[in-house]
Amino acid sequence: MRAAIYIRVSTKLQEEKYSLRAQTTELNRYVEQQGWRLVDEFQDIESGGKLHKKGLNALLDIVEEGKIDVVVCIDQDRLSRLDTIAWEYLKSTLRENKVKIAEPGTIVDLDDEDQEFVSDIKNLIAKREKKSFVKRMMRGKRQRMREGKGWGQAPYEYYYDKKEEQYKLKKEWAWVIPFIDRLYLEEQLGMSSIADQLNKISKTPSGIMWNEHLVHTRLTTKAYHGVQEKAFANGEVIAAENIYPKLRTKETWEKIQIERNKRGNQYKVTSRKRNDLHLLRRTYFVCGECGRKIHLAAHGTKEAPRYYLKHGRKLRLADGSVCDVSINTVRIEGNIVQAIKDIVTSKELAKQYVNLENEKEEIIQLEQNIKNNEQTIQKHTTKIEKLIDLYLDNHLTKDQLNKKQIEIKNITENLQSQLKRDKAKLETLKSDSWSYDFLSELFESINFFDSDFSPLERAMLMGNIFPEGIVYRDHIILKANIGGLNFDVKVLVDEDPFPWHYSKRSKEQK
């Protein structure tokens, strides 16, 4: 019979140590003992779980050309650890060309149902062994990270020193992250514009052009302040500190994430100066009815844009009502300006907008809110642990697990933000530093409406004083956080000057 030898190992390390040489020696001896004629030898250094491999493809080519009668391998799992569809394809190719599978001591004829069944069982066992091996490998990687050791491919700006067993900085690329941070935070450029600026200087270390995705990765990953963070299939997320040399501080990374949250999907600052930047663009708003994010959406033309605080889509609430908050900003802009001027003018006027009294009832309510939120956050933490157990017990798919984890994570993050605000406000109310004089001095510093501030400077100043806000149908709350002091400014929403917009939209929807 005409025979072809097929040899496979999973890693380069196995090839260098022993496996290829050992398999070749034993299989050549077996072919000679059987009296077969050796036509060719093929080998792969890849996972058995992949059907398309260079050596295996070349082997199947001579099978289909009718050049051999038997494929010889040290064990069937060297030939395959394939899923059902790929294994059936491989078997059918061999069967149609009357080619058998041989291991030292065993020959499988795929035309024989009993022998084919045994071969299927071997493939199934090989698949299970592969899964078990992967699980063991991932357990080892998780443990390595728990011990504060990194693994895997590093970002462009680093390399792994095998001798010292640590990641090191490519000094010639140390400029990239500070450069991106400056353009994003100080010059307010968007990711596309930053990529353009980078391309004027150099391509990436691998020789490709910079693009928005590469800039986004560098703005979001924790690697550049030393952290390697990985999410594993069991739902566990592990972060190891001090894995990479630091190119930015953790505080700068946090500022970038706050900035990204404020910009959302709609805010891109190009390299040209922005003259149409809205006053509230730098404030992150949520809905007071459903808790979802409120977008600052622009309608109309570039020359005459109209801005709305609104949801991206409608949401039906538990009571059957629909949450579709949409407020034209002309209904609040004048009131915001008036609020700032009134607060600066006198304490009596300031009381319309800000609670200046350390009321006992408010302190009691805040303490209760803090307690309730802490309990709810703990419940959600327990829910995530239970979800992982359900996933490990095969009651949830990976997609279901991820979806539910994201839902709980979003709820928890909102609760944690509210908890942080409540604690800061409680501390403010209990402190002696809260006074109208402080408030007046602060608001005088942002009374910029009659001065020569650019739209970008106004938006950034408002965003610094009021990083967050809550939108209701008849008023908005601007949440200030200054020097550790937290307070709310309530601004009313005027009657809609363009009610016909809504009636027209309602008719169109009907």
Q: How far apart are CA 96 and CA 111, in angstroms?
A: 9
Which of the 8 DSSP states describes residue 173?
A: G
Residue 111 has, within 13 A of its CA and on its CB side, a CA count of 6
DSSP class of residue 69? S
Q: Which residue in 490, 489, 491, 493 sits closest to 474, CA to CA?
A: 493
Question: Taking the C-alpha atoms of 333, 334, 340 and 341 in order, what is their torsion angle to the nearest 10 degrees?
Answer: 160
Can you tell me which residue has the tokens 């209990």? 430
Tokens of 257: 């994430």
3-state helix, strand and coil shares in percent for the chain, rounded to the nearest 5: 50, 15, 35
Supply 37's token pair: 């004629």
Check: CB of residue 238 under 8 Å from CB of residue 149. no
What's the CA gap between 288 and 181, in Å, rounded?
33
Residue 160 pairs in a beta bridge with 167
Residues 6+ apart with CB under 8 A from 367: 426
3-state secondary structure of 487: strand
Distance CA 307, CA 362 (A): 34
503 is catalytic: no
Spatial contact of 62 and 39, defined as CB atoms under 8 Å apart: yes
> Of 10, 119, 193, 326, which one is the catalytic site residue?
10
Task: Identify which of 423, 255, 413, 434 has the alpha carbon closest to the alpha carbon of residue 355.
Answer: 434
Q: Is 485 helix (H, G, I), strand (E, B) or coil?
A: strand
DSSP state of 186: I
Catalytic residues: 10
